[in-house]
Structure 1
C-alpha cells in the first residue's frame, strides 16, 4: 500500500503564472501543492497535494474528523489554498478531505466530468460568494412599558406581566428579522445571480449568544459587489434586536455545483 494519497482542493481553470503561484503554497499536512492536468488537455487542472494515507483512509478519517484541533488545521489549510488560487483564476472548491488513491484516479474523475466542470467554471468566472447571516438578540431590544394599573401587583401577576412583556419583545424582534430578510432578498434580486440557503448555525457551530435565523450565500458579479455589500449592511437599519452580518468576498464554495445539485440552493437569475 502506498503511504501517500492524492488530496484534491479544487478544480480550476489553468492560467498564466498559476504554476508559479502553486509552487509557493503548502497545504494540508504542510504538503506542497501541485497541479494535476487533465487527461485530454491542460484547460482544466486539479489543485492537489500528496498527504499521508494513514490519516485519510476511511476508518482513520472518521476518527480524525472527531478531533476538532486536527479538523480545524485541515480546514484552514484547505481553504487557504483555495483562496490563494482564486486570486489568480476561477475555481470550483471541493469538499474537505476529497482524497483519491493516486493522481491517475483523480485525473480520471476530472476527465469524466470535464464538460460539467467547464460549464460551471464559465458560469462562475468573474463572480464571488458573499455570506449573509441574520441574528436575533431579544435581550438588546427594549421592552414596551405597560401602564400601571392601580395598586402594586401580586408576585404572581407581576410574573405573568413580565412574561407577557418578554414574549412581546421576542415577537417584535422576530418580525423585525423577517423585515431584514426581505430587504436582503431584495438586494440579492438586484445584484446577485444565485442564492444558496444553508442550515442556520446552532450548538457548537454558533459562536455567539444570539440566535442565527438566516444563513445564506449569494453569488455576486465582481462589478456588483460594493452595491450588494452596502445594501445588505443597511438591512437592519432602524430594527432593534436584529443584527445582519455579511462576510466575503469568498471563492464560490456554495456554488461549485449547479443549483439543482447544490444542497438548499435556490436557482438564479435571482436569489
Structure 2
C-alpha cells in the first residue's frame, strides 16, 4: 500500500539556514519546525549570529527552531545555551553530545533542562549515547535527541539499533522526542514514520517531494522511465547503422 503525505504521523522539520527558504517552507502547513547548525549557518553566510537568529524567529514565530552553541569549552557552552534560550518561546538549544576532545556533555544537558532550557541533543550515533542522552534529558524541559541515521548509512552502518532504542526510551520519557537526522531521501521519511520517530528533519529539496507520495504506481514509474529513455535517445540523435550487419546475420 502506498503512503500519502496525509498518512504520516511524523512531524516534518526543514534542515537549513537560508531565511528565504525557511520562510517559503513555513507557508506549508505540514512543516512543523526548522533545524540549523554551524555548518548550515556558514553556508548561508551568517556572521552576526544573534541578529540572524532573532530575525528568523520573528519570521517564523509559531514554529520550533533549533540553534546550536558553537563553543568547545563547557562553561562557555553553558553561557551560550542560556543566551540562545532567550531568543524565542519555541527555540531549542542544540548541544553536541561531546566537545571535540570527547568530553561528554550529559551533566551540562541535565543542568540546563532542569532549569527550563529546551535542548536538542545532537550528533548522536550509537546506542550508549542514546541511553545516556535520554537519561540526561529526562524530567526536564521539553527536549529532543537527534540520531544521525543518514551519516551512519553513508558508511554502511546500521542505524536501526540507535533509532529503535531512542524511540523506545522516548516512549517512556514524556519530555523527550526523537529526531531522525541527516536525512538523505524521501524513503527515510517513511522509515522514520514507521519506526515511530516523533520528528524527522530533512533538506527542503527532500520535503518538497512529499506531496507526490502515492501519486504514481511502480508500473507507471516503469513506463515513465521507458518513455524518458526513448525521448532522450531521439533528442540526442542517436543512430546505429544496421544495414550491413543485418545482411551478415
**TM-score interval, smaller chain:** under 0.3
Higher relative contact order (CA 8 A, sep 6+): 1
Q: TM-score, normalised by structure 1?
A: 0.19
TM-score (norm 2): 0.20
Which has more strand, going by share of residues?
1
- Structure with the largest fraction of helix: 2
